[in-house]
Chain A
Amino acid sequence: MAELEIINVSKTFGQSKVIDNVSLTVGAKEFVVFLGPSGCGKSTLLRMIAGLETVDEGEIRIGGKRVDALPPGERGVAMVFQHYALYPHMTVRENMSFGLRNVKIAPAEIDRRVAAAAKMLEIEHLLQRKPAQISGGQRQRVAIGRAIVKEPHLFLFDEPLSNLDAALRVRTRLEIAQLHQRVDAAMIFVTHDQIEAMTLAHRIVVMNNQRIEQIGTPMEVYSRPATAFVAGFVGTPCMNFAPVEITGASPFVTLRLPDGSMLETRVDRKALPEGGRFKLGVRAESVRPCATGEGNCSGTVKFVERLGDRTLVYVLLSDGTTIVAEDAGMSRIAIADAVGLRFDSAGVHLFDDVRGYHAAEGA
């Protein structure tokens, strides 16, 4: 049974719509990540699930029970906030047990749950301290512990890693993944960080402009983005885009790049709608630098990023278009070199140039 069902939900603040007819189902024990840029509506949607924002239209069900009219505490969810939201005048133990005391759980049971969660999160030695006496990372663990002790059906994480430094962020990310394996609950995690989304999620919900752009597994979202927005938002570096003309006859199309060079693809002509305008989308790993004249097109290197295991080469085509290509970690390419670019036809995507949806891809 689905743990969470969001059915045609909309939300308006004043005159502006912040959630526009969103529907989504999250399975039991599933880990779903809401991914999108600031202002896309992902946190609002999470807060609507938690009961911290009202639902203007549609309905929300948790465990089969309609909850959108229930107060937050009665929805069977626990939430971890971006800024921890711990109670500063209470000790760690009191922070974790506050919610349980409010629903009159027996003291012995509260002690058991707090002890178990503290052990799991390795914060047993902090139980008598107050939030001001512990570090940021420890506070985040306490916030997670406060959620765990409630034994909810659904965990909600609102950008919980964004206040942590880089090293701690990686470590906490791993711990959240491990936590999900241990607890019997679904999790929804809001982030604008695609790496967090890719590494944690069973499914990613990519949001933009108050709507869901795509729902899919991390690899589906990465390798077959439903829209140009998803293609551009997911993946580092961002996918290369360039307007193209369709010139080839069936069965496969040939593309004319902005600099006039031709790119033969494995995109089936029949897969493309007639009369449309398209833009090419291709990730850096599907474009390799080569000697001038050997590839599909050529240009001048304007920037090189050496990342250790690979090198990103920013190549300026004659028309001013920049294409990012990927080379080996030990690449000898330097700025101002003239290079050719060889496209992997399997990695070529075509997007509708007007509406942005994914039209076709290379076989």
Chain B
Amino acid sequence: MEAEVRTPPTICGMGHRMKRKEDARFLFGKGRYVDDIKLPGMLYMDIVRSPFAHARIKSINAERALAMDGVVAVITGKDLEKYNLHWMPTLMGDTQMVLPTDRVMYQAQEVAAVIATDRYIAADAVEAIEVEYEPLEPVIDPFRALEPDAPVLRTDKGKTDNHIWHWEVGDREATERAFQEADVVVKQQIYIPRIHVASIETCGCIADYDPVEGKLTVYMTTQAPHVVRTALAMVAGHVGLSEEKIRVISPDIGGGFGGKVPIYPGYVIAIAASVLLGKPVKWIEDRSENLQADSFARDYHITAELAATKEGKITALRIKTLADHGYTDAAANPSKFPAGLFSICTGSYDIKHAFVEVDAVYTNKPPGGIAYRCSFRVTEAVHAIERMVDVLAQKLGMDPAELRFKNFIQPDQFPYKSALGWEYDSGNYPAALRKAMDLIGYEELRREQAERRARGELMGIGISSFTEIVGAGPSRHFDILGIKMFDSCELRIHPTGKAIARFGTKSQGQGHETTYAQIIAEELGIPAEHVQVEEGDTDTAPYGLGTYASRSTPTAGAAAAMAARKVREKARKIAAYLLEVSEEDLEWEPGVFRVKGAPDKSVTIQDIALAAYTNHPPGMEAGLEAVHYYDPPNLTFPFGSYICVVDIDKGTGQVKIRRFVAVDDCGHVINPMIVEGQIHGGLTMGFAPAMMEELVYDEEGNILTGSFMDYLLPTAVETPRWETARTVTPSPHHPLGAKGVGESATVGAPAAIVNAVVDALSPYGVTHIDIPITPYKVWKILHEKGVV
């Protein structure tokens, strides 16, 4: 279904498949990324990294490096310690080393930095620095980390064990009772492995300190430039960096996916180097550094249980999780949510009782726990509940679609208050699943499956009916470093009727320059092509919390609509003045105010814009502009139903996805083409960890997947053909009825794939497979079950 379209193609408001305004520059190779920027006198930084996962640094000898032509400086933790910059806070209130003075805590951790006049000299100098290490016993397994005799990693914090925090939500006793009274209980261990966003562009920055003006300009691959500016002012205030003297510019970004929210040590070292040397310093990670040292995602060891009646009505959910955070909690969640929005784990189902607890531990692995295109731990939540529903269906001998229909929150139950405290805004889960089943021909596929099974063939059908939770968020609950998670739009209309709009968000490929322009076109009737959208420069953009967690449309998109409506209200006054009628006598259609009953008497928004600067009503301020900071009243809850069909090659264990139908509902759609693109990309990023991606460490903490040779990303060849469709259930509280869509598919897809594979293998007693589902894993199961 296409969204309702109210504007003509000349205006191109909501619902038009407008080609992306930003694409021309990307297609012509004219994008401007951090590494494209070259400043006069710029120096280059490269980083010495630890070969050990846990070791004491006995000495660092930089003599040979410093003697090399072109090497300007070598910076160690001891140097930063003089300025108290060797540690920094994480967004989660933990602490992280910028450079170590004593111990390294994971393989590939930063140990020292070289500054040189040339990128190549810097790389050679890194090889020339001699570091003497005393290896210490590493803690790699998070369960081992909790054993009493495990080495304690964070003695610097006065810790006596490796436990970071315990978090729980729900009614423990009521849930316990529901489990005791249940006819049927199922329990499953589910591991969601450590993965990496692996954006095409790695991280990097140029720090440019002007010692005369005392001004620091940082070009940085960041999804949240304003947060970075404020964090830098908070962390480095004591060395003279003041917020009005800091400018963060986030140029074009080649993919973020959550990995460009944190502030990495490399950024801080580059800034320190620029301040010390008074010259611009560029630091760009290479691919291995990006994979080995930057924030990971997931790494949740989940034990999930469902209680149900024998008819298949789910009565309770209980989840216990161990979260491996590496050596520091450097996740990027809202401050009050250490496990993100994991408590959305009751999913699309009306479950009366639920209890969830998460314990976080330190290990000798890279820090993180960021949300990889998953709205703060929502993938983990969806994977757990969507797997468990299938485990229950299998136990009951019931069709997984039937079990879902039986337990869905029904359309008339919205707004729905979940057992874990969320108020779902709107949804129609049965409609989305029914549509997906019709599109794929579900009943026919089940008949085919029965025939194939009789012939000994392995075919599986998997469903995932997910509910997302995005758009953080209402400021009473959501903040980062205490800053409320609103977002903003500043809109100015020029005298010739064209517009510029600036935002606190930052596109990394989502198409903001087009989407926001279409929202303003919808509200003001100014053609979208005449609306210039700017983001990413803290000197010009209004304050905002940035782009992640599918929050741009729910927050800044709403701010755009609200700012445009403020402009329209002023435009109405000017129109009344120009037409010599009262405001009440005017009616609005996109781009024009007309006099009621005299439709040939009208003024266009362009006429009004000119008048705002040339002929505005007496007593009114000149100009036509507005600013809006939008604080959403609630989160939005996009949802969808995905169905996947797989065939398994018994000889090799290879799984082939034959079909994958994705029905998404993100409320009103601004640009259907962009939404489809987001879903295609999201499905591929759901497919990848389901089938291929995993960061693997050996017992010593050596990373075994430190390059794209072994950290497997799908190409177009492996990626299935996606079939997408839509239902539209508007958000009742969003000004446009939109919900956000950037992460839905990544969140919903893996469970559909796993459910299909498990379904194929269920005749042999298989109830669960952890992702990634590799051919080897499948073959091993077939081998153990005596199928081959």
Whether chains A and B associate is no
Query: Which of B's residues lie within 8 Å of A, judged by CB?
Result: none
